[in-house]
Amino acid sequence: MTIQTPNGFTLDTSGKRVVVDPVTRIEGHMRCEVNVNDQNIITNAVSTGTMWRGLEVILKGRDPRDAWAFVQRICGVCTGTHALTSVRAVEDALGITIPENANSIRNIMQLTLQVHDHLVHFYHLHALDWVNPVNALKADPNATSLLQQSVSPSHPNSSPGYFRDVQNRLKKFVESGQLGPFKNGYWTNPAYLLPPEADLMAVTHYLEALDFQKEIMKIRTVFGGKDPHPNWIVGGVPCAINIDGVGAVGAINMERLNLVSSVINATIEFVNNVYIPDIVAIGGLYKGWLYGGGLSGKNVLAYGDIPDNANNYETANLMMPRGAIINGNLKEVFPVDLRNPDEIQEFVPHSWYSYADEKKGLHPWDGETTPKFELGPNTVGSRTNIQQIDENGKYSWIKAPRWKGHAMEVGPLARYVVGYAAGHTEITDQVKDLLGRLNAPVDALFSTLGRTAARALECQWAAYKMRYFMDKMIANLKAGDSATANTTNWDPSTWPKEAKGVGFTEAPRGALAHWIKIKDTRIDNYQCIVPTTWNGSPRDNEGNIGAFEAALMNTKVEVPEEPVEILRTLHSFDPCLACSTHVMSEDGQELTQVRVR
C-alpha cells in the first residue's frame, strides 16, 4: 500500500522492515525503522526520539536568572547555546541590554562552539560512515604522504614516517583483538569507497582532531570558567575585564586575551589545513553518492545569529542568515517571526503527549503538553519491548513543530541555503569555491554530502568570525570601554509583574529558540523548540514526514542488515536527542508517584 504525503513523498510499507536501535554516534537516544523494497531502496522511514526528561516542567517557578544553568544541561555537546538562548529570552522579556564587549564575548563563545561542535561531529561522530579504519591498514604510508601533501600543502604532519607510526599504532590496536569503539563495525560493507591511503589520512586526522578539539574550548574556559557548561549571566557576561589595574589576575587581562587569540589562530589553521581539505578529498571520492536530500531542497528554516552590534536582533545585523524557503523556491526568502502565533506551532498526533484538541498546533507561548506514552495498535512486541513501531499511532518523544504548516529542515545546510538565496556574499563565495573544487552543480548541495560539506564551510566561516569579534573587542577596549555587564535590572524588584520574551540562536545543529513567560519574578512558562525537534520531527496531523524521515527516503542500502547508509544520512544532521525531547506542563504537577521498580 502506498501513501502520498502532502510534502511530496511516496511511502510504501510493503517491503522488509529494518530496525536500527540504538542509533549510535549521536547525542542522546533515537531509533529508526525503514522499509526497503526488493532492490534495497528505502520506501518508508520512521524516526523515533527515545528519551524524555521534562526540563520545562522543572523550570516552572524558578528564578529566570537561573534558567540558563538548567537549560544549558539540555545538552552537553552543544553546551552553552541553550544558555545563551535563555539569557537572551530573559533579556528580551525584561528589556535588558548588554554592553558591546559582552556581545563580542558571547559571539566568540558561540562561534567557538560552532567550530568545536562541527569538527568533533565530522571526525568523531560522522567520519566512520565514510572512512574505514581497518582498510587503512593496507595503505602505503608513502602514498598517504603524497595524498596529504597534494590536498593540503601547508599541513606540517605529512611525512611518510608520521603516517607509518599512526598505521603501526592502528595495526597493533587491531591485532590486539580488542577493537574498542571500532568493534562490530561494518568494515566489509561495499558502501565504503575510499582507497586505503585516504582511509589512513582520515583516521590520522580523527586522532589529530581528537587532540586539537580540547584546545579550542580553552577559549570558553577563559571567559566562562569551565567547559562543558561554562557560566553566563543575564545582562552580559560574568568575566570582568581589567587590562590596567591592580588585581588583573582576577579578570580578563592581556595574558588571557593573548591566550584566546593564539587559540583562534591555531583553530583557523587547523580548519584550513585539515578539515576543509578532508571534505574536498573525501567528498570528491563519494560525490556520486547523492542520496539524502530530503527537505533540504524544499523547505528550510534559519533564525539567524551572531549579532554584529549588541542588542540588535534584526536580520540585517545578524551575521548568520535568517529566513525561510518554501517549496525549493530560492528566489524568495520569507521573513520569520518567532512571536507570531500563526507561524511556529507544535503538533502532537504522533508524539507521546496529549493535547486537549490534537488537531490543532500550539504556539510555544501557549504550549500545552502532558506526556502520554501510548503505542499504536499495530506495534509488534509489547509496551516495554518494542520490536516494531506503529507509525500510524504515537511513536516518538519528539513533537512535530511546523512553520506555517510546513515541516522544515534546520542546520548548517539550511543556513547555507538561506544565505545563498539571500545573496550573503561570504556564503555564496564559499559555496561556489567548494562546488568548483569538487566540479559539482549547485543541486549537489541538497544531499547528505551537501549537509556534511555545509557544516565544514560554516566551521571555517565561524573560525574567521572569532577573529573578527576578538579584534572588535580589542578595538573597543582601546577606545576605553571595558564594560561587560549591565546590572540595571538585575534586581527582581525592578521587573514588571508579568513579562514574556523569546530568545534565539543558531545552535550547531540549527535554529533554536526559547520562549519564556515571567510572573511575579518567577518562571511561569518555559518552552524550547530545538533543532532536532525540527529535524527529528515525527509525522504531523496532515501526514507530512519530518526531515530525518524525508532524507532517508529513496536511498539504496547495500546490505540492509548493516545500516551504513542510514547512519550516514542521519549523522549528516548531527542529531541531538537530549535537546529534542522536552515538555512544558501547564500545571507542573508532581509526576513522581508511579510505582518503584
Footprint of other proteins on residues 128-147 (CB under 8 A)? 128
Binding range to other proteins, per CB under 8 A, among 337-345, 447-455, 481-489, 545-553: 481-489
Contact positions with other proteins (CB under 8 A) in 313-372: 371
Residue 10, CB-side half-sphere exposure with 13 Å CA sphere: 6
| Binding status of residue 376 toward other proteins by CB under 8 A | no
The three-state secondary structure class of 528 is: strand
Q: Nearer to other proteins by C-beta: 23 or 407?
A: 23
| Binding status of residue 271 toward other proteins by CB under 8 A | no
Among 228, 328, 393, 405, binds other proteins (CB under 8 A): 228
Among 331, 383, 478, 497, binds other proteins (CB under 8 A): 383
Contacts of 160 (CB under 8 A, 6+ apart): 141, 142, 144, 145
The Cα–Cα gap between 164 and 201 comes to 11
Contact positions with other proteins (CB under 8 A) in 28-57: 28-29, 31, 50-55, 57
Q: Nearer to other proteins by C-beta: 30 or 301?
A: 30
Element housing 501 (H / E): strand 498-507
Q: Residue 222 CB, nearest distance to other proteins (Å)?
A: 6
With CB under 8 A, what is the number of residues at the site for other proteins? 118
Q: Which of 527, 526, 528, 530 is nearest to 511 (CA)?
A: 530
The three-state secondary structure class of 396 is: strand
Q: Nearer to other proteins by C-beta: 24 or 157?
A: 24
| Binding status of residue 524 toward other proteins by CB under 8 A | no
Q: Residue 221 CB, nearest distance to other proteins (Å)?
A: 4
Among 156, 211, 493, 497, binds other proteins (CB under 8 A): 211
The Cα–Cα gap between 198 and 403 comes to 42
The Cα–Cα gap between 473 and 451 comes to 32
b/e sequence 334-356, b meaning 16+ C-beta within 10 Å:
eebebeeeebbbbbbbbbbbebe
Q: Residue 508 CB, nearest distance to other proteins (Å)?
A: 13
Residue 136: how many other CB atoms lie within 10 Å: 26
The Cα–Cα gap between 138 and 133 comes to 10
Q: Nearer to other proteins by C-beta: 55 or 459?
A: 55
Among 227, 506, 524, 565, binds other proteins (CB under 8 A): 227
Contact positions with other proteins (CB under 8 A) in 416-455: none
Contacts of 571 (CB under 8 A, 6+ apart): 25, 26, 121, 125, 126, 129
Binding range to other proteins, per CB under 8 A, among 164-172, 303-311, 421-429, 440-448: 164-172
Cα angle, residue 299 at apex, residues 293 and 303 outer, rounded to 5°: 115
Contact positions with other proteins (CB under 8 A) in 4-23: 19-23
Residue 264, CB-side half-sphere exposure with 13 Å CA sphere: 22
Q: Phi and psi of 346, rounded to 5°?
A: -115, 140
Q: Residue 428 CB, nearest distance to other proteins (Å)?
A: 33
> Using the 8-state DSSP alphabet, how is residue 365 labeled?
G
| Binding status of residue 70 toward other proteins by CB under 8 A | yes
Q: Residue 576 CB, nearest distance to other proteins (Å)?
A: 9
Contact positions with other proteins (CB under 8 A) in 188-207: 207
Among 1, 39, 156, 183, binds other proteins (CB under 8 A): 183
Site string for other proteins, 532-571 (x = CB under 8 A): ------------------------------xx---x----
| Binding status of residue 395 toward other proteins by CB under 8 A | no
Measured CA to CA in angstroms, residue 542 lies from 348, 358, 470 at distances of: 11, 12, 47
Q: Nearer to other proteins by C-beta: 224 or 401?
A: 224
Q: Nearer to other proteins by C-beta: 137 or 237?
A: 237
